[in-house]
Structure 1
């Protein structure tokens, strides 16, 4: 059984395993190595156990046949949290749980792919937590997270960057992108900043005045 118990302090991001398309084991093991807590959504538990991963917390509404004793026996010690609230997704339940544990950051895998409605909801809903929890979604092709009103980071030339608004975002300006923005507006469904590229090795700077803006660092 794979062990991730390298660190037991909340300064490192927790890891949530959702129930979308599986990522590569290389990526999963890289994230597990530095995760002090592994949280699995109930619908993914069997898939995770097949990989021999030690789970700390199992959370969800358990709306299918569920045998708590079985999981406690196979994954001891494990915390099992039943939340029947149908007004939030299991992923949102996991975010709230981490906030209750005073975590400030979390990485999420298996949250994209498979059903389009689940993937879209998982990606767009992270903006609701932007002021309380640093959330980064990973899959084999993308790294997705919200960015603050002023953002600056070093990138290699030709790195694919997509700026995706959730709703409408105003006053967007960029530096060191192949297709620059200058005090412009992006609106989901009408105009987005998809498939831009870093112009040259160095820092990319992005500023905007209001709204919720996602950064997607992508590769083919």
Structure 2
């Protein structure tokens, strides 16, 4: 499986492969079709290489022993980026790397599942980057991305009964929605106290969401 095809560099999202639960081979293949630049985090390389994926960057603190010479030989001309900073996760370091290289957007897979602490950290930390990098986290059951506060208004077409969850990171205020079964009208959501889980699209058409302050994740979910 290769990520090399006819797309223009930095006009398509990069792809980060983290080290959580693997997604389906079909989903990974679909993302690789539109990702000319692939970043693999640390020891996940040991699970990625057998899949035959052409990797551009291996990034991490490398706190687990890896045979870097073998990796560099099999993936030439891979770039190995050592990021020993323990104050950030490898995923955060990958975001910083892509921002520095001028990438506007990235899809992230294998970032959920397995360890719960890693999953919740990966999902919640993406809000800190929303003004610098368009991040979409994807697994076999969910598509997760941060929304922006007003004056930005989120608008997207969905089919009736499609499941949408609105998850606040901290406290999110002044939330308004249109075309959801459980509408919000100047509502407040607070992580751990009140969230917008398992809402549904009321009718085929545009869903509209806006909010005044805080951070808000939108999750497109299916069983």
Aligned residues: 219
Q: Matched residues in 2 for 1:43 and 1:122: separation?
A: 17
Report what 1:34 is aligned to.
Answer: 34
Report what 1:145 is aligned to.
Answer: 145
1:199 aligns with 2:202: yes
**Matched-pair contact (CA < 8 Å) for 2:107–2:138:** yes
Instruction: After TM superposition, give the deviation of residue 8 of structure 1 in Å.
Output: 3.9
Normalising to structure 2: TM-score of the pair?
A: 0.97
Q: How does 1:1-220 map to 2 (within 5 A)?
A: 2-6=1-5, 7-149=7-149, 150-220=153-223
Q: Matched residues in 2 for 1:139 and 1:3: separation?
A: 20
**Matched-pair contact (CA < 8 Å) for 2:182–2:199:** yes
Once the two structures are superposed, what CA deviation does each residue of 1:172-214 show, in whole Å capped at 9, x if it has no partner? Answer: 0111000001100000000000000000000001111011100
Gaps of 5+ in 1: none
Once the two structures are superposed, what CA deviation does each residue of 1:97-136 show, in whole Å capped at 9, x if it has no partner? Answer: 1011100100000000000000000000000100000000
Q: Matched residues in 2 for 1:119 and 1:199: separation?
A: 30
Q: Matched residues in 2 for 1:16 and 1:183: separation?
A: 36
Gaps of 5+ in 2: none
Normalising to structure 1: TM-score of the pair?
A: 0.98
Q: Matched residues in 1 for 2:56 and 2:211: separation?
A: 38
Q: Matched residues in 1 for 2:49 and 2:4: separation?
A: 16
Q: Matched residues in 2 for 1:68 and 1:110: separation?
A: 22
RMSD: 0.7
Runs (4+) of structure 1 exceeding 2 A deviation are none
